[in-house]
Amino acid sequence: MPANAELLRAMGELSLESNKLVSVLVDRRGRVITVSVGDASDTPLPPVHGEAETRLYGLRLIHSHLKPGGLSSGDLSKLFLNRLDAVVAVDVGHNARGDVELGEAHFAMIAPPTSEVEDWIIEPAMSMRELESIDMLERIRALEEELSRASSVREVKRSSSERAVLIGLETGEGLLEAESRLEELVELASTAGAVIAYKAMQQKSSPDPRTLVGGGKLQELVSKAYHEDADLLIFDRELSPAQAREIEKATQLKIIDRTQLILDIFAQNARGREAKVQVELAQLNYQLPRLAGRGNALSRLGGGIGTRGPGETKLEIDRRRIRERITVLEKAVQEISQQRSQTRKARTSSSVPVIALVGYTNAGKSTLFNRLAKADALSQNKLFATLRPTTREGWLPGLGEWGAKVLYTDTVGFIRDLPDELVNAFRATLEELHDADLLLHVVDGANPGAPDRVDAVNRIMDELKIEVERVIVINKADLAEPNSLGQLKERYSARAVSAVTGEGLDELKTLLAELLSKPQVHAQEVEPAGYLGTFN
């Protein structure tokens, strides 16, 4: 039975005496595990044991109702989010003699995974006799069998890729901007290897300090993950360590934020010592404050009375090792920066002009680089395919009477709100841009959000104090919609090219030769009109 009358009468007495709700957790043997004052949302749960996907929690929540009305949304949320065996609520009151009287009982269990309508099954209000007649263990056994079968199907689906639910947040910047960010999150997740099972947008005046999107939206996302066989939630905002822990605790799902997703892509694409060192440094700087978040109360390293002990805790050992590794990596990045500085000095002394290709990730920089320099750098239709700058010689026929040699440098792609960890780790790489004679800002003309991406790249370069003349070129002209392409060309007075077909490349080379033949102009002294971007 879900609950017996004796237990419920005792709970009713406590509720009526205190005028507060009373909740208990009962295990499958009928033993009371905890007693608490408050409704379902106030009831603390012990740690989960066993396989979360193939079993229920192993506990059912029973609480008193001082007023009739059935199960609340909080009751059902607690049931679903924590995979409780069941939730039971019983109305309590006084009879004519002043004794405790048990009224209607309300009972619900999680719906089977095959259900596409509701996340739970709510039985009609019933008497205590009807409640005690329910074979609770048989219902649990049947439901867990269905969970086990659904888990087997999920394992087959997951054999190649993780299935993810994506969530964006709009807090006043405008719905179009928020939707553009969410579409970019789709690109990022796909590049990382995830299958997008569902995506959603939440609009709030300000982020929820505990769960970013609010409890109701979180329940909706868990429901979608449950029905879409997804086990990964990806947020389009950086989560604080406390938010990540709270969301993971509430959903029992794997939680990733935008920064972590970008770091994962960088780690996948890192080739060679330089890129691997910089990516590892960025990851460790991100992970350090997120190890446990227990504060300083448990530290044994502070010194003084009450802090001495037999040694370090595991948490402190992990933190110390990460800090030591960060120190080593920072020295390695400094060495890389010095080596690159020496290489740049050698190039400067040779008087060969340097043209650096910059732009938003996946704008086609590497493909254009290969065309201009007749090189074979890695070129893929994916985000952050290039992490390590590559320099190759090229030839500009219009540079001088007989033409002249130039150096082209392909650089890492930018992205809006570039994580600070990546900016710092890749500063040695981005220093290449300071010593270029010209920056070729490559824009994906086929992307509807091209102007926003141009602004994002310009902001990052301004933050890095890169004061080199910039020229915008619209790439992927063969894929762009003609009207949009025309608007971009007019807006930026830019050349349009296709690195794939070769369209417009001769005109671009002529323009580059003209610019390099002029006396160098300080970027911030140039009028924003023409082919140059706008600077602050």
Under a CB-based contact definition with an 8 Å cutoff, are residues 167 and 208 in contact?
A: no
Q: Is residue 90 in a domain?
A: yes
- Are 497 and 508 within 8 A, CB to CB? yes
Spatial contact of 100 and 7, defined as CB atoms under 8 Å apart = no
Quick one: 408 and 437 in the same domain? yes
pLDDT digits (tens, 9 = 90+) for 370-392: 899 886 655 555 566 565 678 88
Q: Which residue has the tokens 């009358």?
A: 5
DSSP 3-state assignment of 48? coil
Q: Report whether 15 contacts 67 (CB < 8 A).
A: no
Look at residue 505 in the predicted model and tell me its pLDDT.
Answer: 93
Say if residue 175 is in the same domain as residue 143.
Answer: no
pLDDT value at residue 344: 58
DSSP H helices in 232-313: 241-251, 258-269, 272-287
Position 160 scores a pLDDT of: 54
Look at residues 20, 32, 57 and name the one whose alpha carbon lies nearest to residue 143. 57
Q: What's residue 383's pLDDT?
A: 62
Q: Are 143 and 176 in contact (CB under 8 A)?
A: no
**Phi–psi pair at 278, nearest 5 degrees:** -70, -40
Same domain, 482 and 382: yes
Is there a domain that residue 225 lies in? yes
Are residues 151 and 180 located together in one domain of the fold? no
Specify if 270 maps to a domain.
no
145 and 171 part of one domain: no
On whether both 114 and 193 belong to a single domain, the answer is no
3-class DSSP state for residue 299?
coil
Cα end-to-end distance, the chain, whole Å: 71
Give the residues of the chain that fall short of pLDDT 70.
Answer: 48-54, 114-117, 151-160, 292-315, 340, 343-350, 375-388, 424-429, 519-536
- Paired sense of beta strands 354-359 and 404-410, if any: parallel
Contact 377, 370 (CB under 8 A): yes
Clarify whether residues 58 and 192 are in a common domain: no
- Give CA–CA dist 385/367, Å, rounded: 11
**Four-residue CA torsion sign, 277, 279, 283, 285:** positive
- Does residue 128 sit in the same domain as residue 153? yes
pLDDT of residue 525: 34
Rounded to whole angstroms, the Cα distance separating 180 from 199 reads 13
Query: Residue 167: its pLDDT value, please?
Result: 94
Q: What's 485's domain CATH number?
A: 3.40.50.300
b/e map 167-187, b = 16+ CB within 10 Å: bbbbeeeeeeebebbbbbbbe
Residue 282 lies in a domain: no
Let me know the angle formed at the C-alpha of 326 by 324 and 328, rounded to the nearest 5 degrees: 75
| Residue 179 domain-assigned (yes or no) | yes
Same domain, 141 and 176: no
- Going by C-alpha positions, the residue among 177, 188, 237 that lies closest to residue 449 is 177
Q: Does 297 map to a domain?
A: no
166-to-188, 364, 381 alpha-carbon distances in Å? 11, 26, 22
- Angle 489-494-498 from CA coordinates, rounded to 5°: 85
Question: Does a structural domain hold residue 332?
Answer: no
Total number of domains constituting the chain: 3
Q: Tokens standing for 531?
A: 């082919």
Q: Quote the tokens at residue 172.
A: 């006043």
Residue with tokens 């499958």: 28
By the 8 A CB rule, do 468 and 441 touch? no
For residue 67, which phi and psi values (nearest 5 degrees)?
A: -130, 145
Closest CA to 364 of 489, 453, 242: 453
Please tell me whether residue 514 adopts helix, strand or coil conformation.
helix
User: Which structural domain, as residue segments, surrounds residue 407?
Assistant: 344-525
C-alpha–C-alpha distance, residues 104 and 124, integer Å: 10
Asked whether residue 532 is domain-assigned, the answer is no
Please report, for residues 30, 146, 225, the alpha-carbon distance to residue 141 in angstroms, rounded to integers and kept in the order given.
16, 9, 23
Q: Which two tokens stand for residue 311?
A: 């040694």
Global pTM value: 0.70
Tokens of 453: 């991406």
Q: Give the whole-angstrom CA distance, residue 168 versus residue 185.
A: 8
Side-chain-side CA neighbours of 507 within 13 Å: the count stands at 11
Domain end call among 230, 264, 298:
264
Q: Are 535 and 475 in contact (CB under 8 A)?
A: no
9 and 113 assigned to the same domain: yes
Identity (one letter) of the amino acid at 451?
Answer: P
Looking at the fold, whether 173 and 37 belong to one and the same domain comes out as no
Q: Are 208 and 235 a contacting pair, CB within 8 Å?
A: no
CA–CA gap between residue 132 and residue 127 (Å, rounded):
9
**Sheet arrangement for strand 100-110:** 32-37, 22-27, 59-65, 86-94, 100-110, 120-122
Domain identity same for 515 and 372: yes
* The last residue of a domain, from among 264, 287, 302: 264
Instruction: Single out the residue in 201, 232, 264 at which a domain terminates.
Output: 264
Nearest residue to 110 via CA among 155, 72, 144: 144
- What tokens does 347 get? 């190039």
Amino acid 531: pLDDT: 33
Domain with residue 167: its CATH number is: 3.40.50.11060
**Cα–Cα dist 532/411, whole Å:** 19
